Structure 1
Amino acid sequence: MSDTSGSQTNITDGQQVQLLERVTGAVVTTLPCCVFLFINVTMLFTLRSKPVFCETSRYVLLYNLLFADTVQMALSHLLYFIAVCTLFLTYPVCGFLTLLASLTTTISPLTLLVMSLERYVAVCYPLRHTTIITIRNTGVAIVVIWALGSLNILTRVLLLLEFPFKDLESLQMKDFCSDVAMLLGPQSNDYDRAFICVLFISAGVAISFSYFGVIIAARSASTDKASARKARNTLLLHLVQLCLILFSTIFSPFLIALSGILTKIMFLRLYTVLYVCVSLFPRCLCSLIYGIRDQTIRPVLMHHLCCGFLKPAVSNSK
């Protein structure tokens, strides 16, 4: 009898510890998420506050990248919070959320690709930059980016329709909602891996090509050395961003592989740390990079972050 009481006490204590870990994790992750969302939303508002931001192609592309990252961050934390609260969604609701998250995840590397090519043209073909990189062409590029992302979503939906949902007793999921949980068949899994490989290899090749192209152009006597150096550093940062986005994409499969090795407590702690560092922070990195480095954005961004108490300095640089 005492053994039974002792085992029940141990189970209760274990459940309380897991609950405490989940609550702590939710608090620890929600605070930086709110901070990052505030910074991103402020940056988005900044990029629509002055005509120079709306009439310059690289700022328009930056807005598109930030918008996708902000939506992705909000969706990621929503799914994380649902998992912490041990809520099980239905397949249609989970499918909608994960497909929308997949769309924004696709937009980010494609936008980085176009931004890198824009910097390449600016340094290597400065006289033709204004004729090649126009607002109209930038708008067309953004439409193509979202069209490719939407085509990926349409393909995923068609693959999901092949799953025999009618054979299920209920549409209620038995696992937590995630992109991995919605890979309901071998075809979906194979397509997801192939698409991720093609997407990130293409973006990596384009950014690397632009980076080495800028390095070669910098050796030319006719090239602005300061401009080439800034473009080279920007492209290097784009490559780092791409690697972080790639790691956040394979974040769930990596954790699933570790779940069978670690204890539940250690797994929850590792998940919290990796979630903030790998999933949340990279989505705010773009705001921090451009907000600090760009002389045109920085004073306006600081003015908005300080709620108007700090007057922006007059700057005509781009």
Structure 2
Amino acid sequence: MANNNSVIVGESSVNKVNDRVILVQILVLVFLCINFLLITTFFMKDVFYTTMRYILFANTLLSDCLFLFMTDVLLILSYFHFTLQMWLCLVMYIVLSVHTFVTPLTLTAMTLERYVAICMPLRHTDLCSTRSSLRCVLIIHGLSSVPCFVILSIFFASATHSFYYQGRVCSAEVFILYSWQVHLRSAISQFYFLIMCIIIVFSYIEIMKVAKAASGENKKSTWKGLRTVILHAFQLLLCLIQLWCPFIEAAILQINFRLYISVRYFNYITFILTPRCLSPLIYGLRDEMFFHALKYYALCGLYKKPLNFFGLMKS
């Protein structure tokens, strides 16, 4: 992830980066442990893996775990200037490129699920069945693969056979052979996020209309769904800013290397780690049913309340 031509800026600077790298390892480890517990809870009861919003939630968790683990590995490799053969770097790039879009696309699908549940409750069972959920996951991964396919098709047409066996510090930039590819990649990403933003804004407006007309328990449930959409929108905004980070970092690198290191570290924490830590908050803690199940399994069955919580923990 670091630039090959970067220079050593002094021992004190390296020690400072070391502290930051250690902090990132702690954050990633904590995140992966929390997600492992959430994923375990998801597979414990069929009420979760037969319900669309929980299936999409699990898809987000799995994608985020894989994405953060691999970006962390690349962070360590690049910091210590370890090189990889380009064929292995290519495999890692494909996985990361696809899963860069899986999370925001899944957030959009989860927003649509909330829209259907609140605005079209009579059709929710048919539109959000288990089969529809699995199809939706496949569509999400298919759409996520399109930007990667476009960029790599250009790369495959231009790269020589010997390139795949060269040793380099692995980064996405090594697969960009022409400057116009950067603009093409940016245009595709911006188009995706424009469509997703339109969907989220549309869902927000429609849910807002229902919230104003609802009463009693329906009103409470509708406003909770509205807050969920707002959190999804915030996550999507952070994911969108992540796409602009390489351009900002490239400009700063030409000015000051120390500032470049600081900005890159800030971007990683704010626009990669943070949006992927919000998913457990939105559905792992705010969702009452999932929260009680999570608490039950986290405490090894000592928490007894879920036993009668909508029959969730009944055998």
Could you say which residue in structure 2 is the equivalent of 1:198?
Answer: 191
1:50-107 deviation line (CA, Å, top 9, x unaligned): 1110111110111111111111111111111111111132322222212211111111
Per mean C-alpha deviation after superposition, the further-off stretch among 52-61 and 126-135 is 126-135
Is residue 225 of structure 2 the alignment partner of residue 231 of structure 1? yes
Q: What secondary structure is seen at the aligned counterpart in 2 of 1:316? A: coil
Q: What TM-score does the superposition give when structure 2 sets the normalisation length?
A: 0.87
Is residue 306 of structure 2 the alignment partner of residue 311 of structure 1? no
Pick aligned residue for 1:104 from 88, 99, 120: 99
Q: Distance in 2 between matches of 1:284 and 1:310?
A: 27
Q: Per residue, is there more helix in 1 or in 2? A: 2
Higher relative contact order (CA 8 A, sep 6+): 1
Q: Distance in 2 between matches of 1:153 and 1:257?
A: 24
Offset at 1:170? 6.9
Query: Is the 1:302–1:312 Cα contact (8 Å) retained in structure 2?
Result: no
Describe how 1:146-295 pairs up with structure 2 within 5 A: 146-165=141-160, 171-173=166-168, 176-221=169-214, 224-264=218-258, 266-295=259-288
Question: What one-letter code is carried by the residue in structure 1 that aligns with 2:240?
Answer: L
Offset at 1:317? 9.0
Flag the 1:251–1:217 CA change in 2: closer, same or farther, 3 A.
same
Query: Is the 1:103–1:149 Cα contact (8 Å) retained in structure 2?
Result: yes
Question: What one-letter code is carried by the residue in structure 1 that aligns with 2:62?
Answer: F
Pick aligned residue for 2:48 from 37, 49, 53: 53
Q: Distance in 2 between matches of 1:312 and 1:204?
A: 41
Task: Give unmatched runs, 5+ long, in structure 2.
Answer: 1-7
Structure ID, larger Rg: 1
Task: Give unmatched runs, 5+ long, in structure 1.
Answer: 1-12
Q: What TM-score does the superposition give when structure 1 sets the normalisation length?
A: 0.86
Flag the 1:309–1:29 CA change in 2: closer, same or farther, 3 A.
farther
Offset at 1:166? 5.3
The Cα RMSD (Å) is 2.4
Q: Distance in 1 between matches of 2:288 and 2:164?
A: 59
1:10-37 deviation line (CA, Å, top 9, x unaligned): xxx9542243233222211101110011
How many residues end up aligned between the 2 structures? 302
Offset at 1:202? 0.8
Query: Is the 2:242–2:267 Cα contact (8 Å) retained in structure 1?
Result: no
Identical pairs, percent: 26
Question: What one-letter code is carried by the residue in structure 2 that aligns with 1:23?
Answer: N
Query: Is the 2:296–2:304 Cα contact (8 Å) retained in structure 1?
Result: yes
1:235-285 deviation line (CA, Å, top 9, x unaligned): 011100101111223333322222223342x43334333322221122121
